[in-house]
Amino acid sequence: MAKAPLPLEQLRDQFGPHLNYMPEGGWHKESRTMPDRLVKTHCCFCGQQCGIQLKVRDNRVIGFEPWEEFPFNRGMLCPKGVKRYLQDNHPDRLLDPLLRTNSGFRKATWDEALSFTARRLREVQERYGKDSVAVFGGASLTTEKAYLMGKFARVGLGTRHIDYNGRLCMVSAGVAYKLAFDVDRSLIPWSEIPKAQVLLVIGANIGECAPITTDYIWRCRDNGGKLIVADPRITPIARNADLFLPVRPGTDLALLNAMLHVVIRDNLQDEQFIAEHTSGFEAVKASVARFNPRMAAEMTGVPPEAIEKAAHWFARAERAIGMHARGLEHQSKGVENCSALINLALATGHVGREGSGCTMITGQGNGQGGREHGQKCDQLPGQRSLLDPAAREHVARVWGIAPDELPGAGYSAQEIMNAIHAGEIKALFSICFNPAVSLPNADFTREALEKLEFFAVTDFFLSETARYADVVLAGSLQEEEEGVTCSAEGRVIHIRKAVDPPGNARTDSEIICDLADRLGRGKFFPFRSPREIFDELREASRGGHADYYGITYEKIDAQMGVFWPCPSLEHPGTPNLIQGGVSCFPDGKCRFQRAEWRDSGDPVGPDFPIFLTTGRVVSQYLSGTQTRRIGGLVDIYPEPRVEIHPRLAEQHGIADRDWVTVTTRRAELTLRASIVRTIRPDTVFIPYHWADLKSANKLTHRTLDPRSKIPEFKVSACRISKSDAVPPWAATEHMVRINIPAGVPAPKGAVD
């Protein structure tokens, strides 16, 4: 039913991505005309949530100016932030709702589009049951919108199936931190980083994915701190590493367990901290006994001496911080990986003290806030469990329904797609999610989307996923609706509205509330502004771990952000969690978790002897829906390339820029080679931001971590071969550039 209505080439011509290079009217006109005002807000790209000022004139964003007073980034911005304003006034922008026809999409009125959406959702639910409709949300939404999506699914539609694209982000860390501390947040604000004597950065390409954090790390080194980096690639943050551990993909657990083994073997553990503040140490001690450095070297490819040195540095430091990101988390043992790092921090007493702790570097714009207030399949606002009767009662009361009316826990994001493929889920309502690019095994995802009986998408551009939709609701960019987000630090910040949505586009929360009304549930969605949603969210989160009750927009402005929990209006917020080693569990103990080895779901073997790992580049954000439309960013790294070590390349006769076909058990992909000495010779790397025949996720597999349900993006098995033929996408596709100033050369990549 939901096949793309036109050939992809025609859809691309019509809806992009086209490359926008200049503000409307060109550089010169803009340079001579002053903005009406500067709006202090935050960058929409990534969990750093840098402060930025947007230049606004005549209800249009025309440029940016650094915001030097905001304490987190003090004016610093990566290129995504600098060029972010070019997503505004973009010619690909959806200005009206769209309905699919036999020959493409046609513009519709809001009344037509929303009535149709409500009718189809009702029809599907009447025919197949409430749970035959699923909802996808996203972690680039403001917290108000994320909260609204959770309520919309459970109260508006009455389905148990809602999950979000944060499922592809840091949920493994979330589970591990809940197990250890009963709270899912970075234990520390970033101001602790320069105070550490040792930083252990594992599975985190900080220079490209969290660029502002670089300055914090360099300042730590200025203060005499040592930097340990573990990664299958020498990434930019490793250029100043004091110790680099070239860990084989999927073996971080062995490395971390071996470090703990060395700590215990050499009697460097903090016995007093373990005795007073933790439980479960003995079981973990037994579980790491077999991970001696020699055995771990076999598994990880890291020299035994380097493992010992890293363990000694970390344990002997008075203050040490473990920092991790998707590298640890995107594995079928993602939770175990994070637990192993937490175990190391607990065993050495590096929790709850100044300049110490561990932190997941949350990736998405509102990756933290988007996972706190009920957008996850098993969660209610305030980081409450959907299975907890007291939590159900509290939230049901705030929402004005009976606790029994709240559905139970539903499927996670990949499980929803699996259920669509299996025919169990028949309709999907999606916002802020581009699964056609971001979910693993992209051909499977396409098949699933084509099976949907009804598919509605809310988006500001026609994403690759929206091509399959029956109706596309023209929504809003971050700068078009007020709200809050929560940064990677746990700092709740204020997103100010800069402009109204253009044309007939509407704000996301208006769309959701209107749709709820048409579903006959309007009385539960009486919100006239984001502030009213936030006020209800404050009540709903009250008493939960992520308690927002004491946070107001005014307090955020006055304090430059408020760290949750903030239980009362007088409370200043809580930058440091687990202070003094006291966890959020009733007994206050931090809990060691056994982190047992499990093999990858896509093991390397004779037919597929090479590891494939995927990741990001600095100039693109997530599935590229926004950043693949900004010329200045695309020019930095125009298309995905396969990173290959010269030793491996030589075995296959591959030279730099040759076409290389990468084949996994699911699909093959032909891209240009980038021959670099900075990647392990048993591994190749492809960034994932692109769609269709350039999509790294054609190659990846759907194995999930059993607890966090995160896909194993970081470990697949592949083989490679030189390709003599130019792939079809390169022969036919040309990037359409618009608004381009004279004299600008054709896009030239970083590695050209």
How far, rounded to the nearest angstrom, does the alpha carbon of residue 244 sit from its chain's CA centroid? 26
For the record, the structure tokens of 148 come out as 């609204």
> Whole-number minimum distance, CB 239 to another protein, in Å?
6
Q: Who contacts 342 (Cβ-Cβ below 8 Å, separation ≥6)?
A: 176, 177, 180, 322, 358, 593
> Whole-number minimum distance, CB 483 to another protein, in Å?
25
Is the CA virtual torsion 152, 119, 114, 467 positive or negative? Answer: positive
CA angle 709, 711, 713 (to 5 degrees): 155
Q: 66 vs 588, which CB is nearer to another protein? A: 66
> Whole-number minimum distance, CB 4 to another protein, in Å?
33
Q: 559 vs 678, which CB is nearer to another protein? A: 678
Distance CA 425, CA 128 (A): 9
> Whole-number minimum distance, CB 305 to another protein, in Å?
9
Q: 29 vs 119, which CB is nearer to another protein? A: 29
CA angle 150, 155, 159 (to 5 degrees): 75
Q: Write the single-letter amino acid at 556.
A: I
Q: 223 vs 568, which CB is nearer to another protein? A: 223
Is the CA virtual torsion 182, 187, 189, 190 positive or negative? Answer: negative
Instruction: Specify which residues 316 forms β-bridges with.
Output: none
How far, rounded to the nearest angstrom, does the alpha carbon of residue 303 sit from its chain's CA centroid? 32
CA angle 669, 674, 680 (to 5 degrees): 95
Mapping DSSP onto H, E and C, the string for 73-104 reads CCCCCCHHHHHHHHHCCCCCCCCCCEEEECCE
How far, rounded to the nearest angstrom, does the alpha carbon of residue 356 sit from its chain's CA centroid? 25
> Whole-number minimum distance, CB 42 to another protein, in Å?
15
Q: 361 vs 679, which CB is nearer to another protein? A: 679
> Whole-number minimum distance, CB 721 to another protein, in Å?
21
> Whole-number minimum distance, CB 447 to another protein, in Å?
32
Distance CA 230, CA 165 (A): 26
Q: 211 vs 565, which CB is nearer to another protein? A: 211
Q: 43 vs 153, which CB is nearer to another protein? A: 43
Residue linked to tokens 């995927």: 614
Q: 73 vs 142, which CB is nearer to another protein? A: 73
> Whole-number minimum distance, CB 616 to another protein, in Å?
12
How far, rounded to the nearest angstrom, does the alpha carbon of residue 574 sit from its chain's CA centroid? 24
Q: 208 vs 508, which CB is nearer to another protein? A: 208
> Whole-number minimum distance, CB 236 to another protein, in Å?
4
Q: 79 vs 543, which CB is nearer to another protein? A: 79
Q: 77 vs 533, which CB is nearer to another protein? A: 77
Q: 162 vs 307, which CB is nearer to another protein? A: 307
Residue linked to tokens 């509102």: 366
Q: CA 372 → CA 268, 338, 547, distances in Å? A: 36, 19, 9
Residue linked to tokens 């396969």: 642
Q: 463 vs 600, which CB is nearer to another protein? A: 600
Q: Could you tell me where the beta strands, DSSP code E, fall in 602-667?
A: 610-615, 641-644, 659-663
Q: 443 vs 599, which CB is nearer to another protein? A: 599
> Whole-number minimum distance, CB 568 to another protein, in Å?
36
Q: Write the single-letter amino acid at 574.
A: T
First to last CA, the chain: 42
CA neighbor of 88 nearest in space, from 64, 105, 52: 64
> Whole-number minimum distance, CB 744 to another protein, in Å?
8
The length of the chain, given as a count of residues = 752
CA neighbor of 429 nearest in space, from 623, 158, 93: 158
Instruction: Specify which residues 107 forms β-bridges with.
Output: 98
Distance CA 551, CA 534 (A): 9
Distance CA 274, CA 569 (A): 35
Distance CA 579, CA 36 (A): 45
> Whole-number minimum distance, CB 25 to another protein, in Å?
11
> Whole-number minimum distance, CB 215 to another protein, in Å?
5
